Amino acid sequence: MTAPGGAPAASGTDAASRRLAPRDDVALMDGYHSPQVDVAVRLNTNEAPEPPPAAFVEAVTRAVGDIEWHRYPDRAASGLRRRLADLHGVRPEQVFVANGSNEVLQVLLLTYGGPGRTAAVFEPTYALHSHIARLTGTRVATGERDADHAVDPAEVERVLAEARPEVTFLCSPNNPTGGVESAASVSATLGLAPGLVVVDEAYSQFAPWSAMDLVDEDVPLVVTRTFSKTWSMAAARLGYLVGPSWVVAELDKVVLPYHLDAFKQIAGTLALDHVDEMERRASHLVEERGRIEAGLGELPCRVWPSQANFVLFRPESVAGADVWRALLDRGVLVRDCSSWPRLDGCLRVTVGTPAENDRFLAALTEVLA
Ligand code: PMP
């Protein structure tokens, strides 16, 4: 390296020594890993198996021509918020929209978590709840689910009494285990939680019950949703929450200005013209989920009943990681949870198209034979 004027750089300014170390806690962290492998049957990230309806893609393509590309987008995403509010029977002030529900969770934790504050999670659950909490400097209080992966009321009481968390996460249906949280469980948690209760409902369209019914201006509950699953829009990165307007007002202060681009606001709004088609698709996936559960039930596997678009299972006689590899060799990619804490030997399969599900079941039958 040469200094300005062409003189050799002083020692200590070589490239390696100029690499600034990150914050100590970040240096100790692992990133979030979800391998993207190019394979015929991809059943590892709980995406929708089909692209959105052609009419939606055509409408978006037409609308792109009307975007004022040289102008910042509508900062409040008012049109999209209004449509989401209508969908859920709330006021637009009760809706917050961001780049995927992960960003919704991040803004929640930037606002209500942080140094000196605590978030409670019940493991095993969606890894990003604790990961984003730690990234925002929030302490994580961990409760344990029972052997069936259900949230145990006594454990909720214990954790909330000991940790007094500002934010308590529930995930319904829970990723990666698939079970839905009952109305009684959410209400009991709300009764005990000293702060905000966040119910992550990324998979709610596949489940019989939603905590959305409990949202009220006077209740410290927010429900998060995503366009990535039912709406077949994982590529667009769009998610939202519904909650009291006093929460949304605080989140609006924290999120970056103009965080939601014009294209995404249009895509999300136009997607909401296809609610019936999306509900029809969700019910097909629920039927296919039943077929996968039945197929797994005939194999030497433990299967956890699911109310999401994925199923968690544990092969009995072969190590989970070996089954994962053998499925990949047969062109089928599932999620390898076998080394995750509390999920020893487990794999998670996303419900795909009927043909993909057939391929998965045939490959697994062969592997476990
Ligand atoms: N919550 C849960 C429980 C999830 O499984 C996911 C996606 N894997 C998300 C939130 C994030 O979804 P997105 O950011 O795509 O909206």
Q: How far is the CA of 264 from the centre of ligand 1 (A)?
A: 17
Q: How far is the CA of 22 from the centre of ligand 1 (A)?
A: 26
Classify domain 27-52+276-368 by CATH number. 3.90.1150.10
pLDDT, tens digit, 9 for 90 and up, residues 196-205: 999 999 999 9
Classify domain 69-273 by CATH number. 3.40.640.10
pLDDT at 13: 63
Q: List every span in the chain annotated with CATH 3.90.1150.10.
A: 27-52+276-368
Check if 102 has its Cβ closer than 6 Å to any atom of ligand 1: yes
Show the CA angle centred on residue 353, arms to residues 237 and 282, nearest 5°: 60
Q: Up-side HSE of residue 186: CA atoms within 13 Å toward CB?
A: 27
pLDDT at 63: 96
> Kind of pairing, strands 118-123 and 95-98?
unpaired
Q: How far is the CA of 199 from the centre of ligand 1 (A)?
A: 12
From residue 243, give the alpha-carbon distance in Å to each of 117, 156, 158, 165: 21, 22, 26, 18
If pLDDT is split at 50, 70 and 90, which confidence band does 14 have? Answer: confident
Ligand 1, atom nearest to 203 Cα: 3
Whether the predicted pLDDT of 7 surpasses 50: no
Whether the predicted pLDDT of 9 surpasses 50: no
Whether the predicted pLDDT of 10 surpasses 80: no
pLDDT at 12: 56
If pLDDT is split at 50, 70 and 90, which confidence band does 16 have? Answer: confident
The reported pTM is 0.94
Mean pLDDT over 357-363 rounds to: 98
Q: How far is the CA of 326 from the centre of ligand 1 (A)?
A: 27
Q: What is the mean pLDDT of the chain?
A: 94
Q: Which residue is closest in CA terms to ligand 1's atom 5?
A: 175
Check if 201 has its Cβ closer than 6 Å to any atom of ligand 1: no
Whether the predicted pLDDT of 91 surpasses 80: yes
Q: List every span in the chain annotated with CATH 3.40.640.10.
A: 69-273
pLDDT, tens digit, 9 for 90 and up, residues 256-275: 999 999 999 999 999 999 99
CA distance 78 to 93: 9
- Residue 302: both structure tokens together: 């433990």
pLDDT at 196: 98
Q: Give start and end residues of each alpha helix (H) in 89-214.
A: 100-112, 127-135, 153-163, 183-192
Q: Which residue is closest in CA terms to ligand 1's atom 2?
A: 202
Q: How far is the CA of 226 from the centre of ligand 1 (A)?
A: 7
